[in-house]
Chains A and B, each alone.
Chain A
Amino acid sequence: GAVVSQHPSRVICKSGTSVKIECRSLDFQATTMFWYRQFPKKSLMLMATSNEGSKATYEQGVEKDKFLINHASLTLSTLTVTSAHPEDSSFYICSATERLAGRETQYFGPGTRLLVL
């Protein structure tokens, strides 16, 4: 299947700093990427839809000024957690869609563990 990478895999930062997470589709072009957050023992929560060349679409309750998304190219989307606080500590996962058998299938990155001290 298609490969999606994320960088970094783990980051520890001080409260108040900003953290950038990169998501790349390695062997296909993705006009749409998604950013998820997973809390311990919970399902994946969609944060936003990242569209190449246009503004991201945020889910209800997700602060767009807090979680900045930039989809600069067909293979790269970035999520920046601005002025991170301990409650932002979580596991962030991106996905990119590839058309498969006539429908889009989402392939996920390996995730980024963020710990804000």
Chain B
Amino acid sequence: DQQVKQNSPSLSVQEGRISILNCDYTNSMFDYFLWYKKYPAEGPTFLISISSIKDKNEDGRFTVFLNKSAKHLSLHIVPSQPGDSAVYFCAASDNSGNEKLTFGTGTRLTIIP
């Protein structure tokens, strides 16, 4: 049972345009969401997070939006840069205290120069 889903395995975006990566979840107990960026043969790098008490969090070029009623979140990157080409994972955790993350399957973002 995939509790965190990233339905787009890949996405191509022109440099300078906006990249929008989507993530859906099914577990209503999730209350904290994170986005990670991963290059091949490296560990994931933390990008940005959002708590369920918010619907938007912004950090530089990265903005995460959360729609709790739809159980949907998205990561916006603007403007997109070639160095943004990577696999992006969304992850979620609940408030049970065990700190475990449930990951989506990832979306490979390619920025076209």
Contacts and interface: CB of A to CB of B under 8 A. Distances in A.
B73 to A, nearest CB: 15
Interface string A77-117: 00000000000000101110100111111111111010000
B39 to A, nearest CB: 10
A59 to B, nearest CB: 9
Interface residues of B, number: 22
Contact of A43 (B42, B93, B98, B105): B105
Contact of B89 (A43, A95, A104): A43
A4 interface: yes
B105 A109 contact: no
Interface in B83-111: 89, 91, 93, 98-101, 103-106
A26 to B, nearest CB: 13
A4 B93 CA distance: 20
Nearest to B51: A103
Nearest to A42: B105
A91 B32 CA distance: 26
Nearest to A1: B46
B41 interface: yes
A75 interface: no
A25 interface: no
Given A43-B89, A103-B49, A108 B43 contact: yes
B45 interface: yes
Given A105-B34, A108-B36, A108-B44, A44 B89 contact: yes
Interface of A: 1, 4, 6, 32, 34, 42-44, 46, 49, 91, 93-95, 97, 100-111, 113
